[in-house]
Amino acid sequence: MAKIFCVANQKGGVGKTTTCVNLAAALALARQRVLLIDLDPQGNATMGSGIDKYGCAKTVYPLLVGHTDFASARVRSEEGGYDLLPANRELAGAEIDLVSLERREKRLRDLLAPHLEDYDVILIDCPPSLSLLTLNGLCCAHGVIIPMQCEYYALEGLSDLVNSIRKIHAQLNPQLQIIGLLRVMFDPRITLQQQVSSQLEEYFPDKLFDTIIPRNVRLAEAPSHGLPGVIFDGASKGARAYRDFARELIQRIKRLSR
């Protein structure tokens, strides 16, 4: 049965999508059956998976509001080796349309329920907000993976996110937990980044992933080629780090299942 993970951080541009796309491809390389859900109207995870976001007949938007079915919306990222529920800017309308629907925060959970046996891991790329879309992701997830840059303001935003996750855990989804914090775009030459990284090790010893994703230009170049970084340049430092991260996550999943 699939484990469902949201990659979330309400801060923008912190590496959520890069983490989703590369983790999905790295897990696929490790023979995991993966579904990636693009829950962001920006559609970056869709494009980064090599799928034209405006060429998709069906996307996650009509799926969420009940206008299409799962099989019609699902596409295959041949390059990445995983399945994808794509998104484009139509999805912004879901914020409004969902409000009047029944079980509005549980729509994604309900529609994924019949497909959990088809995958080992389901990853959800959340938008940079604590919106109804993100809430849908958090309501169906077993856990949250929080990518963060080691900067001063990163810690400030973290407490808002942790409080929201606590509330959702208490009121809507008792299985939800923080799986881990992932340090991304890390540059060891910057003293402040080293300091924040050490602080994280001190405050969150159990929640911090050992793997650190370095700042690596190959990861930033890959989306313009419609490829996950781990496929675009498998020998790059960034690709190696995401493959390590996939292995670390698989180990954590095994511990979760015990």
**Which residues form the interface with ligand ATP (CB under 6 A)?**
12-18, 40, 42, 44, 128, 184-185, 213, 215-216, 219-220, 238
Q: How far is the CB of 129 from ligand ATP (least distance, A)?
A: 9
Q: At what angle do helices 132-140 and 152-171 cross, to 10 degrees?
A: 60
Among residues 5, 6, 14, 17, which is the contact residue for Mg ion, using CB under 5 A? 17
Q: Is 241 exposed, middle or buried (0-12, 13-18, 19+ CB in 10 A)?
A: buried
CB of 17 or CB of 49, closer to Mg ion? 17
Listing DSSP states for 81-131 in one string gives: TEEEE---GGGGGHHHHHHTSTTGGGHHHHHHGGGGGG-SEEEEE--SS-S
> Cα angle vertex 131, ends 130, 137, to 5°?
85
Q: Which residue has the tokens 């041949």?
A: 78
- Residues 39-78 touching Mg ion, rule: CB under 5 A, are 44
Q: How far is the CB of 219 from Mg ion (least distance, A)?
A: 13
Binding-residue total with Mg ion (CB under 5 A) = 3
Task: Select from ligand ATP, Mg ion, none the partner in contact with residue 184, using the beta carbon and a kind-dependent cut-off of 5 to 8 Å.
Answer: ligand ATP
Residue 6 Cα distances to 134, 177, 183, angstroms: 9, 10, 16
Interacting span for Mg ion (CB under 5 A) from 36-44, 70-78, 194-202, 247-255 = 36-44
Interacting span for Mg ion (CB under 5 A) from 15-23, 83-91, 159-167, 232-240 = 15-23
Binding site for Mg ion (CB under 5 A): 16-17, 44
